Structure 1
Amino acid sequence: MTVRCDRTPAWQELRKHFEATARQFDLRQAFAADPGRFAHFSQSAPALFADLSKNLIDAKAEELLFALARQCGLQARIDAMFAGERINATEDRAVMHFLLRAGAAPAGSLAGELGQVHTTLDAMLAYADAMRADHTITDVVNIGIGGSDLGPQMAVLALDEFVAPGKRFHFVSNVDGHELAGVLKGLAPEHTLFLIASKTFTTAETMANAHSAKRWFEQSGGTDIARHFAALTTNVEAAREFGISTTFGFWDWVGGRYSLWSAIGLPIALAIGSEGFRALLAGAHAMDEHFRNTPLERNLPVRLGLLDVWYRNFHGFTSRSIAPYHSALKRLPAYLQQLEMESNGKRVDLAGDVLPFGTSPVLWGEPGTNGQHAYFQMLHQGTDVVPLEFIAVRDASHDLAGHHAKLLANALAQAQALMVGKEDAGGHRHFPGNRPSTFFVLEKLTPQALGALIALYEHRVFTSGALWGINSFDQWGVELGKVLARDIEPRLSSGDVAGLDASTAGLLARLRQG
């Protein structure tokens, strides 16, 4: 049985501790008083190292947060997910993206599903390797949106070092035709492979782009749709009517933002090959096992999720910034935005009761050192405290002298400066310090390391959502706007404003002018 966090004794104890001690917590004093602070608040996990020591937390708060996790029944919730129970209650679905990266050995009652996973995976990877070896295909265009775009795009960019020579990858998600037109401008139909990623093959934005791509292909002299188009969908019949014969499906227990491990990951497999894709899965699986089996005190996703609850509900921090100090991770912040805000941006609990506390923070960020020259001013001297997460990679994949040392030095210095600050009586050059940060270190940016990093964030989001007592696996909030758009679209042609509010009617009329 699970219990919502604010209904536990530990929650009340955390509130007392925060008011009595933690509100005045100072990192500089904490490090001066405890030579072992770094060792206690840092740890290794599969493929990465995490330093949590520069966060606004002491041993007592951490002890109470672990008690909170136990009193909420976190382990039971974890076990329920890995057992295949239907924890996505509003859609009556299991949540089993972890199965997509599990090994080939039978998994008890999930052996049947695991067999289907590996049958699809083997077929997808065989196709990926065949197309990688086809030198007539130079460009791959993935057409999808949300989880069918953000995950694959982020991973392909992150693993650029491993991408097959002679292959270029493009991602189209926006229904704004400027995006698709800009991609098509540089392509030749005979050298292009289009991937249409839509579970139902009905997603409005994706299908609008897919039909436009098909028209361009035919009008530009393309003659073999079956060879140059593949679909990542369960609606095989609709794909066949489109002219597509190569399809790879997935299951309703795979949420969109957790789907890069499934057939949705085909562009990743095309980019880095079957061996690389299996390494990506292996890294995620190692983190799954860590999350599933490690005691709370050394369970990194749990520690991070508890820290998120501490910051959101006690310190009142409303956002968190992501700063990857590796240019290949440029799309990681956008990917994490969907993962966390679509999962935990909820206002009611599992029973449908309105929550009396905040849930998902706003996630945002840019690669360092670009962010240093944009928004770090606010992080250092602004009126709001924003926890920052640094992601550094120890070994560079280039041989340009001096660059990587400068990059790593900047990451270390920024984390240090946020914590220690600087005194200035005049005020303008005063840095208050005591600004929290977490520092992740990957040895190399490999498929396995990336897989572990992504799974770490997945399970972290699961942890905070479980404590808040919400359903982290539905996304009803995206539906209303889609429904209203279907009503508004024909009005842009007809000019009919009957039944619209005054603002929407006025804007529609303005957009029809000219």
Structure 2
Amino acid sequence: VLDWKFLDLRKVGDGRMLGFVGGVGVLNSGFVGSASLRAESRRAVLARKRVDLRMVLSPEKSSSVEEPKKESKLISRTPEWAALKKHATEDIPLTNIKELLEDEERNNEMLVDYDDIYLDFTRQRANRKTLDLLFQLAEKANLKEKISGMVSGEKINITEDRAVLHTALRAAKGEKVIVDGVNVVDEVHGVLDRIKQFSEFVRNGEHVGATGKRIVNFVACGIGGSYLGPDFVHEALKTDPLAAEAAGDRHLRFLANVDPVDVKRATMELEPEETMVIIISKTFTTRETMVNAITMRDWLTHAMGNGSEVVAQHMVACSSNVEGAKEFGINEENVFGFWDWVGGRYSVCSAVGAVPLSLQYGFDSFERFLSGARSIDRHFASAPMEKNLPIIMGLLGVWNISHLGFKTRAMHPYTEALVKLPAHIQQVDMESNGKHVTVHGEEVDFEVGEIDWGEPGTNGQHSFFQLLHMGQVVPCDFIGFCESQNPICEDGLPVSNHDELMANFFAQPDALANGKTAQECRDEGVPEWLIPHKTFSGNRPSMSILMRVLDAYTTGQLLALYEHRTAVEGFIWDLNSFDQWGVELGKTLATTVRKQISKSRYHNEEVTGFNSATTKLLNVYLGGSVGCVFEEEPVE
């Protein structure tokens, strides 16, 4: 402890003893000064249990005036939030979904439709008052203004100083969205026009492989949003009759994981001479993607030789780094760009999705997909809150997470074609709203974000529905369709295969809501000892989305619906839903580990710089695995 010039004890307005010090030094525990002052300070600590110390670097700056506290901007400090909290703790526990469903007027109010989408949220733990309070909260949070700011190109991603314009990716030609003096819609359609022309050249055989063979296989190399979004749409269109007819004998695969097993699976049974590889990386530097890009280039050249025409004819890129793609050997004309205002998890409507999906299904299919998303974009931006599907879904998400305390959400699409939807929305939602501070940098004091997961029905019913019915409460989204992509009727069965599927779509939400009482079990003759095991508490919330049929248009609608739901939640919570700094730390540490592996494996250096647990595991790994044999020692 350094020598202090003086220490002064004063009593402030609230009765606390404050120690003011002059000079330079560090206060550790207790006060430093004369013996009498030290004794007085100890008595103050014992008497008050707390001493606030003000360290002042010079006597001139010594002051007893406390620094003014910044006024909190948290939404949780508003009367509207408090009213919802009170409603959740005092009113809602007195209600039950089963009883709420008996209110016909409420049920009518909680079924909203738009463009052949029916949203039924009658099985939420909510009543008219809940909705009124949620709409009041939305007004307090300036929700409509924030939505308008997003779609008009304001730079709402404040940590990266970027606009957030995935809606501009599906705007109609001729619309205007100005960013930094440029109409970005014109730029979007300039890229789309190039993709249309290129995909038609490949599909009609004008662009062939290096050996003259027709290109019929496509492998898209990307990770995160560069993979999950396009793969979700690909699976949705694979069995759509119109898209499937356009695909013909073509095959689209995705290579995302840097695991070499994924390379094996992506290339299995494919002929390199008939294959085009699409490298998807905005910067053309994403580590996993570039490792896979190099691996795929070697796969092509091993089969057809090292001529420059192999890469030029068989590899294209979706990237803003044209020079990097050219250095890799890709023809500049085959590099399709996108912009910094397109976040990875929101990028499927850009070249990221347009190139692989147009090559596989034709550009017309992709245009129908964009049209469906555009329909929801316009609805989202203009419909009143009480009729606005994404707003209602987002507000109920806030209600379930922040006020009722449900930390997870399960998605159940009742069609196998949406097998990849839960994984894509998992990234959209968890990467967007998995935050701990607001846009103002203030720590939130309420629950935000949710754990998203799911599986198509009816598979999930034979997997995890036991927990949904009898374990912890998990709000559910059920997604169903009036028509099947592949209708089948079998003689001797009472209903079609699709009707069998949809019977479960309608039954499960009611089962979760209503449950089953002990008396109902008795009435069925269940033995008394078995009754506790066969009763269901019910009162478990869900919402149902019913659409006409899954095709390119409705796939676009679903995408936009869930993208905007996520944005609504973030806008209410005042988060920046459009950055992802949480992804970076692991990447940085992985670089350190990778360098150590290289040093240890190829230069015989000891593992150093890690905690003992990591060091032990690294040594086990290095001793139990085999690296590569290089002609020259690799340099990191």
**Shorter-normalised TM range:** over 0.9
User: Which residue in the other structure is 1:469 paired with?
Assistant: 574
Write out per-residue CA displacement over residues 169-190 of structure 1, whole angstroms, 9 at most, x where no aligned residue. 1101001011112222311111
Listed as ranges, the gaps of 5+ residues in structure 2 are 1-71, 206-212, 490-495, 519-527, 601-605, 625-636
Write out per-residue CA displacement over residues 176-217 of structure 1, whole angstroms, 9 at most, x where no aligned residue. 011112222311111101000000100000000000010111
Letter in 1 for 2:268: K
Write out per-residue CA displacement over residues 459-491 of structure 1, whole angstroms, 9 at most, x where no aligned residue. 111111011111000000000111111111132
Q: Which has the higher contact order (CA 8 A, sep 6+)?
A: 1
1:506 aligns with 2:616: yes
Match of 1:203 among 281, 286, 298: 286
Write out per-residue CA displacement over residues 361-404 of structure 1, whole angstroms, 9 at most, x where no aligned residue. 1000111111000000000011x110011111111121321210
1: CA distance, partners of 2:479 / 2:336: 33
Write out per-residue CA displacement over residues 46-103 of structure 1, whole angstroms, 9 at most, x where no aligned residue. 3421111111111001100000000111111111112211100000001111111001
Kindly state the Cα deviation for residue 355 of structure 1 after the two structures are TM-superposed. 0.8
User: Which residue in the other structure is 1:72 paired with?
Assistant: 141
Kindly state the Cα deviation for residue 108 of structure 1 after the two structures are TM-superposed. 5.7
User: Which residue in the other structure is 1:186 paired with?
Assistant: 269
1:250 aligns with 2:338: yes
User: Which residue in the other structure is 2:324 paired with?
Assistant: 238
2: CA distance, partners of 1:477 / 1:259: 19
Aligned partners of 1:198 and 1:233 also within 8 Å: yes
Match of 1:397 among 478, 485, 509: 485
Change (3 A) 1:158 1:56: same
Judging by fraction of residues, say which structure has more helix.
1
Bigger shift: 292-301 or 41-50? Answer: 41-50
Aligned partners of 1:321 and 1:364 also within 8 Å: yes
User: Which residue in the other structure is 2:6 paired with?
Assistant: none
TM-score (norm 2): 0.79
Kindly state the Cα deviation for residue 357 of structure 1 after the two structures are TM-superposed. 0.9
User: Which residue in the other structure is 2:254 paired with?
Assistant: 171
Q: SS state of the match for residue 149, structure 1?
A: helix
Kindly state the Cα deviation for residue 104 of structure 1 after the two structures are TM-superposed. 1.0
Map of 1:98-113 to 2, 5 A cutoff? 98-107=167-176, 109=178, 112-113=183-184
Map of 1:433-448 to 2, 5 A cutoff? 433-448=538-553
Q: SS state of the match for residue 409, structure 2?
A: strand
Write out per-residue CA displacement over residues 205-232 of structure 1, whole angstroms, 9 at most, x where no aligned residue. 0000000010111112255211111000
Write out per-residue CA displacement over residues 138-185 of structure 1, whole angstroms, 9 at most, x where no aligned residue. 211000000100000110110112131101111010010111122223
Letter in 1 for 2:163: A
Aligned partners of 1:8 and 1:72 also within 8 Å: no
Match of 2:199 among 128, 133, 143: 128
Aligned partners of 2:410 and 2:474 also within 8 Å: yes
Aligned partners of 1:47 and 1:283 also within 8 Å: no
1:419 aligns with 2:510: no
2: CA distance, partners of 1:275 / 1:35: 43
Q: SS state of the match for residue 578, structure 2?
A: coil
1: CA distance, partners of 2:202 / 2:541: 46
Letter in 2 for 1:58: N
1:35 aligns with 2:104: yes
Match of 1:452 among 537, 545, 557: 557
Larger Rg: 2
2: CA distance, partners of 1:35 / 1:185: 56
1: CA distance, partners of 2:486 / 2:252: 21
Kindly state the Cα deviation for residue 3 of structure 1 after the two structures are TM-superposed. 5.7
User: Which residue in the other structure is 1:137 paired with?
Assistant: 215
Map of 1:213-224 to 2, 5 A cutoff? 213-221=296-304, 224=310
Q: SS state of the match for residue 159, structure 1?
A: helix
User: Which residue in the other structure is 1:303 paired with?
Assistant: 392
User: Which residue in the other structure is 2:209 paired with?
Assistant: none
1: CA distance, partners of 2:445 / 2:406: 16
Letter in 2 for 1:441: L
2: CA distance, partners of 1:132 / 1:25: 59
1:316 aligns with 2:405: yes
2: CA distance, partners of 1:56 / 1:340: 22
Aligned partners of 1:4 and 1:467 also within 8 Å: no
User: Which residue in the other structure is 2:14 paired with?
Assistant: none
Bigger shift: 17-26 or 232-241? Answer: 17-26
2: CA distance, partners of 1:416 / 1:48: 20
Q: SS state of the match for residue 491, structure 1?
A: helix
2: CA distance, partners of 1:403 / 1:85: 48
Listed as ranges, the gaps of 5+ residues in structure 1 are none
2: CA distance, partners of 1:59 / 1:119: 47
Match of 1:338 among 427, 430, 442: 427
2: CA distance, partners of 1:288 / 1:183: 34
2: CA distance, partners of 1:152 / 1:357: 34
1: CA distance, partners of 2:113 / 2:121: 11
Letter in 2 for 1:8: T
Q: SS state of the match for residue 85, structure 1?
A: coil
Change (3 A) 1:3 1:394: farther
Aligned partners of 1:250 and 1:262 also within 8 Å: yes
1: CA distance, partners of 2:516 / 2:421: 31
2: CA distance, partners of 1:458 / 1:491: 40
1: CA distance, partners of 2:258 / 2:95: 48
2: CA distance, partners of 1:102 / 1:403: 38
Percent identity for Structure 1 against Structure 2: 41
Match of 2:124 among 43, 49, 55: 55
Q: SS state of the match for residue 135, structure 2?
A: helix
Letter in 2 for 1:122: D
Kindly state the Cα deviation for residue 419 of structure 1 after the two structures are TM-superposed. 1.1
1: CA distance, partners of 2:508 / 2:369: 30
Aligned partners of 1:323 and 1:388 also within 8 Å: yes
Aligned partners of 1:46 and 1:290 also within 8 Å: no
Q: SS state of the match for residue 142, structure 1?
A: strand
